[in-house]
Chain A
Amino acid sequence: MTRQNVSILIVDDEDIVRNSLSGWLEEDGYQVDTAQNAYEALEALNRRTWELYFLDIKMPGMDGVELHHKIREVDPQAIVIMITAYAAVDTAVRALKDGAYDYITKPFDPEDISRLVHNAARQRQLEKENIELKDQLEDLTRAPKIIGNSKHIHEINDLIDTVAPTDTTVIIRGESGTGKELVARAIHSKSKRKFFPMVIVNCGALSESLLESELFGHEKGAFTGAMQRRKGKLELADKGTLFLDEIGTLTPKTQIDLLRAIENKEFTRLGGNEVIHTDFRLICATNADLEQAIREGTFREDLFYRLQVYTIQLRPLRERPEDIPDLVRFFIERYKRAMNKPVGNIENKALSMLMNYQWPGNIRELENAIERAMVVVKGNVLRKEHFILNNSIREGMPSDLSLKEIEKKHILSVLDRFNWNISQAARILGIDRVTIYKKLKEYGISREQHV
């Protein structure tokens, strides 16, 4: 960590301490900001956090001890150094018990400060690296969590748990952005193949010849530009999982080549004769209407039945708005860490706007919307004005909802309108309160999720 990366906030009401200490630390190459009192510091903390804090214990208004507590609420990893006069050393020692890193007594020995800041910055860096390493390790081995608490998500999790330990071929269907790849990852990491690779091929992104070479590999000189022998994804997925996304875009030739490779569990590289055996578990995904494609003759029926062994159908986000609060919290947490911003919450008005939006791009669109809001937000609460939604497709019921789904959406929107006052909502809906409770239970919705 270079010193330029270490940011320091000094909070002290004495000009001389602020100016001298910041000047001295800046000369050493640290990035230093100052605040005259606790309120100014808290105001600044709405916008960003620092690696290191110097807090004067004795300040008019809110003192350093109280400010320390407040900083810890926003930034639990903060390294705080208390500044004290000899007379207040007791208080400083107590602050250490509350998690302060150290304290310094005025006037400071330059040598002490220099060592203290150096060590504190190193500790902060080590902690950061530790967290990152842990995250990476967990990402590698732990199954990704499918976020949400709706009946639908519970069903999806059950389907994943049932099929994961087997070698059964799985097809995941759903609109784009519904998290098909995430489901594939969950199946892979809950399977006995989890220590071998999950190899991903996006079939829609490549031309026929490139895709064939990508899937089956090629020998040197197989075609112009094939300078070296290259292993294909089928070979690379040996002992692991092969995930083919956008399977509906395969051309007739690739369909038949793939079908042969699946049926025989062997294939040859382009331009080669050597028969390659490979053992992979196949997971496919598509947002296309394959049944329609079969009727039109663009998708092979025999391949379809090979893939259609075990289907996981993901429902679009607009049909399960009750999952939105959990997803929103999940993404806030993700970007809060990535952007180092102290945003912890979302106002109710904004959340109910998100729950009423149609999300044509599904979870991916929701994630993008949160990411954008996290970029523009100044305080620590996301508000309605931080979101830009595509209003032209907003509001109104999509026509392909079942009567039950329309009922559920309507009940939820009325409840939202009346701030979850059940009696009032019941009166508007013309049903009694017990019926509302029963319906909510049936949908798997609790009030906390919504407020």
Chain B
Amino acid sequence: MSDLRLVIPDSLSRITNYSFDVVSQVTKLKILKQEIEWELYLDPVRRQYNALQFLNNTKAHHNSHSVYLTDRDLFIPIFTHVFGLAEFGGCSAVISLLRLDPAFYGLPFNENLLQQRLQKEVLHEYGHLLGLRHCIQYDCVMASSTTADALDIKGMRFCEICSRKLPV
């Protein structure tokens, strides 16, 4: 399987200390620092950033998958918001930490929980990059989750069926 590049901006540099042990078991993980010019993708009316436009503008890196992290609120035109977005079977995905953070919902900051949610999201979007669709096993990391609570319910690994579909 190809490498996974986790691309983070300076504002999220604390993430370099987070544990991505489960992701590392699946693939070789590289953490890179890079700033994204998010203002290009700002929708002034919605005051959110267009994740679809961002992915369309992002060039593929040869023989590797990239997951970009941001603290901006992401959307795609038909949805009020998205936690993340991946090109299905493609090279790039993007994840926003904003709505993964319990603080966003007025709850006390909980770094441990944020770490877990982020790792699940990274694994989930990586699954999409590898061509996996949503899974009906509620505890599989590929289960669709539209709320942070649903994210907490599912597990941090690919179920047996999804594992079998992964490229070797």
Question: Is the CB of A21 closer than 8 A to any CB of chain B?
Answer: yes
Contact indicator A16/B77 (Cβ below 8 Å): yes
A108 within 8 A of B: yes
> Which of B7-15, B78-86, B154-162 makes up part of the contact surface?
B78-86
Return the CB mask of A1-44 against B: 1 if under 8 Å, else 0: 01100000000000011001101101111000000000000000
Q: Is the CB of B136 within 8 A of A108?
A: no
Confirm or deny: A114 has a beta carbon within 8 angstroms of a beta carbon on chain B. Answer: yes
Contact between B80 and A110, CB atoms less than 8 A apart: yes
A114 with B77: CB separation less than 8 A: no
User: Contact between A26 and B133 (Cβ–Cβ < 8 Å)?
Assistant: yes
> In the complex, what residues of B have CB within 8 A of residue A28's CB?
133-134, 144
A372 at the interface (CB under 8 A from B): no
Report, as a range, how many residues of chain A touch the other chain. 10 to 19
A400 within 8 A of B: no
Inter-chain contact A27/B146, CB cutoff 8 Å: no
Tell me the residues in window 84-119 of chain A with beta carbons closer than 8 Å to chain B beta carbons.
106-111, 114
- Bound form: Cα–Cα A20–B128 in Å: 15
Question: What is the minimal beta-carbon distance from A68 to any residue of chain B, in angstroms?
Answer: 20
Cross-chain contact B144 with A114 (CB below 8 angstroms):
yes
Contacting residue for A111 out of B75, B78, B147, CB 8 A: B147
CA–CA, A3 to B144, complex, Å? 13
A109 to B78, CA, bound (A): 8
B52 at the interface (CB under 8 A from A): yes
- Interface membership of B88, Cβ < 8 A: yes
Q: Name the contact of B88 in the complex, choosing from A16, A17, A23, A110 (C-beta under 8 A).
A: A23
CB nearest to A23 among chain B residues: B88
Q: How far is the CA of A107 from the CA of B50 in the complex (A)?
A: 13
Given contacts A27-B144, A29-B133, contact A108 B80 (CB under 8 A): yes
Instruction: Using CB atoms and an 8 Å cutoff, list the residues of chain B in contact with chain A.
Output: 46, 52, 75-82, 88, 128, 133-134, 136, 144, 146-147
- Between A and B, 18 residue pairs with Cβ closer than 8 Å are A2-B136, A17-B77, A20-B52, A20-B77, A21-B78, A27-B128, A27-B134, A27-B144, A29-B133, A29-B136, A107-B46, A108-B78, A109-B80, A109-B81, A110-B80, A110-B81, A114-B144, A114-B146
